[in-house]
A and B are shown apart, each in its own frame.
Chain A
Amino acid sequence: MNQFDPAFLRGITQDRRSFLRAAGLVGAGAALAACGVKGAKVSPAKADDVAKFWAGKKQNGHVDFANWASYMDANHTPLKKFTSETGITVNYKEVITDDPTWYGKIQPQLAAGQPIGYDLMVVTDGIELNKLVQFGYLAPLDHKMLTNFEANAGAAFKNESFDKGNVFSVPYATGYTGIGYNPKYVKEPITSIKQLFDPKYKGKIGMMKDTQELGNFGMLLNGVNPETSTEADWKKAAAVLQAQKPIVRQYVDQNYTKSLSNGDLWITMAWSGDIFQENLSNGSNLQFVVPSEGGTIWTDNMMIPKTAVNPVDALKLIDFFYRIDIAAMLTEEINYVPAVPAVKAQLLKDAQTASKSDAATFTTMAGSPLVFPTDTELASLRHYVTLPNPAAEKTYQDLFLPISSG
């Protein structure tokens, strides 16, 4: 939240020259501020961008990796394995708490053409990812070096609408937004978004603060597919969400699973993997459902900022995550949908050699529709709306942000 961003500190103190550059920036900032600030728009990507970016880039033996909280096992086993196999050391930091804040932190450095302190980062599809692409802040990926990705990634993950052909990003993990509830307090089966609007749960309901997630649930309740929604749909969704507000306890971001297991919240919007992780680590019995109105699916993507100091090392690490055994290792820990379908078989194989309790977990996981959804289930899931221009984005934010901040 208000933690000091180490990337920033590193950015300005790396050496004296960059300190002076930072000092110059302050001056330049002031000069700019006097007459205006340049827009970040750039011309669209060209075919030779990949070759141009990667020409002369060498492996440096180190990579700085920024990820979300609890998005790998506590020992970072995959990274240790990566280091022992390639000799590339990894500085892994779980510094990303939400996309807008992360984007807000790195944008000034990216705009100034400076390294952000990380060579690899994970960003969800949505407004911020679109901006990173649109403003040319990302390195185009060299697919010649992504051999595991080409061989193992599922077809559905190779052609996602937000980055067709994986020009700038490849999935880290995918998950759903649905409803999480604690059966200790909620004594009926939960199947519908309507139940999040049920006054009998007054003061125990959690909704997400994220404007895209929140807006989606309002639209789904109204029977609207968020992906094709219009401004009129947003207004109607905002109205039902405003009306729901008096019975909402909290608009949550990251710590809602704790609140759910200790009874501060009984029923809340939730991300699939979070609920599984909480159950695994705390022995709680929280439930997760994709509502009958349809849930939403999102993808967290790995990408390399254009100003990365160690892009080659980062690209190697990206491809490493697409090795079937590594992808399986990650899925076993984070319980989100892997982009590698072969993980399912690998889980069953791992179960044969694992301890009894692990084996049971792996087998359940391999059979879980929430980790390996069927095609029909995938079809019932909705994507985020893509906001086409700054004006639409402002309209959208002005409708949904005030709901969580009254």
Chain B
Amino acid sequence: MQRLRAKLAPYFLILPGGLWLAIFFIIPTVTMLSFSLMTGNEADGYQLTWHFQNYTDALSTYWPQFLRSLEYGATATILGIALSYPIAYWIAFKGGKRKSTYLFLVLLPFFVSFVLRTISWQFFLSDNGLLLSPLKSMGLVPQDFHILQTTVAVVLGLTYNYLPFIVLPLYVALERVDPRVVEASSDLYAGRIATFTKVIFPLSLPGVFAGVIMNFVPAASDYVNAEILGGPNNTMIGSIIQDQALHVRDYPTATALSTVLMGGLLVGIFLYARALGTEDVLEAAAR
């Protein structure tokens, strides 16, 4: 009896986690996959007919929006890293006693709702708004120049909205760099640039890796920024999925698109992890 219990114990221990995974991950994923292979409509119902054509139809219609989403996501991520690195570096090395205050300041705007934050950019970037009005009256930009409803506005919104997702992991990685290592580097006659490129940056790679994933994945599948700040030629795949699911109520197309997006992002992350050598990264993180 005791032996049986001992044998079963591990299974009972994974039960909560397993159930969580089953309810919130496996069932939705299976549902999504099976929907993507169905045909039918709301009135007559949907039947699983293994209709793989849903995928080819969806992709052949919406590949431009897919590519655009990846492009916007990547641009926003690169800009995000460029902006976050100095911030995280400064907080980690020069923040002194006020580190947590600075981090709090980075997070402060995020206590306001996502949509509201994006709408305030709409006011700021408006044709005769705070930014463009003075530029126009000084004659620096033409009268009919506008930022709203352009790619610039959407990428700007994405970069801004997902910035903390890069700042935080970068900060954590940089904060862990042992000051003695930096000291040793300068003892060995490395200049400030060499210290940064040979010591600090490689040690911060786990943070960059995590930041890129945490930024790119939501940014590429975002639709709020494109809806609020974008124009007719800035539609991202998230909007298409939303329209198909809620407006057209064409579940098979919506789920096929979601599956492709999920699969595409997973493959992308996998390739990225291979290229960057996650094992090294994880090892570096473990130390």
Q: Are B232 and A404 in contact (CB under 8 A)?
A: yes
Least CB distance from A283 to B in Å reads 17
Contact A135/B43 with A264-B127, A397-B248 known, Cβ cut-off 8 Å: yes
Closest to B118 in A: A1
Residues of A near B148 (CB, < 8 A) are 264
Q: Are B31 and A29 in contact (CB under 8 A)?
A: yes
Residues of B near A40 (CB, < 8 A) are 42-43, 45
Q: Are B31 and A405 in contact (CB under 8 A)?
A: no
Tier of interface size on chain B: 35 or more
Q: Are A131 and B42 in contact (CB under 8 A)?
A: yes
> How many angstroms from the CA of A342 to the CA of B44 in the assembled complex?
44
Q: At the interface, is chain B mostly helix, strand, loop or mixed? A: mixed
Least CB distance from B178 to A in Å reads 42
Contact A405/B42 with A2-B114, A35-B48 known, Cβ cut-off 8 Å: no
> How many angstroms from the CA of A3 to the CA of B115 in the assembled complex?
8
Contact A41/B44 with A1-B115, A1-B224, A250-B149 known, Cβ cut-off 8 Å: yes
> How many angstroms from the CA of A17 to the CA of B14 in the assembled complex?
26
> How many angstroms from the CA of A74 to the CA of B137 in the assembled complex?
37
Q: Are A390 and B44 in contact (CB under 8 A)?
A: yes
Residues of B near A259 (CB, < 8 A) are 126
Residues of B near A264 (CB, < 8 A) are 126-128, 146, 148
Q: Are B128 and A251 in contact (CB under 8 A)?
A: no
Q: Which of B92-100, B180-188, B238-246, B266-274 contacts A (4 or more CB under 8 A)?
A: B238-246
Closest to A104 in B: B246
> Is A270 interfacial (CB 8 A cutoff)?
no
Closest to A2 in B: B224
A-side interface residues toward B, CB under 8 Å? 1-3, 23, 26-27, 29-30, 33-41, 100-101, 103-105, 107, 131, 134-135, 203, 211, 245, 248-251, 259, 262-264, 389-391, 394, 397-398, 401-406
9 tightest Cβ-Cβ pairs between the two chains A and B: A39-B45, A104-B246, A390-B41, A405-B235, A100-B247, A36-B47, A37-B46, A39-B44, A33-B31
B-side interface residues toward A, CB under 8 Å? 23, 27, 30-31, 34-35, 38, 40-48, 61, 64-65, 114-115, 126-129, 144, 146, 148-149, 224, 227-228, 231-233, 235, 239-240, 243, 245-250
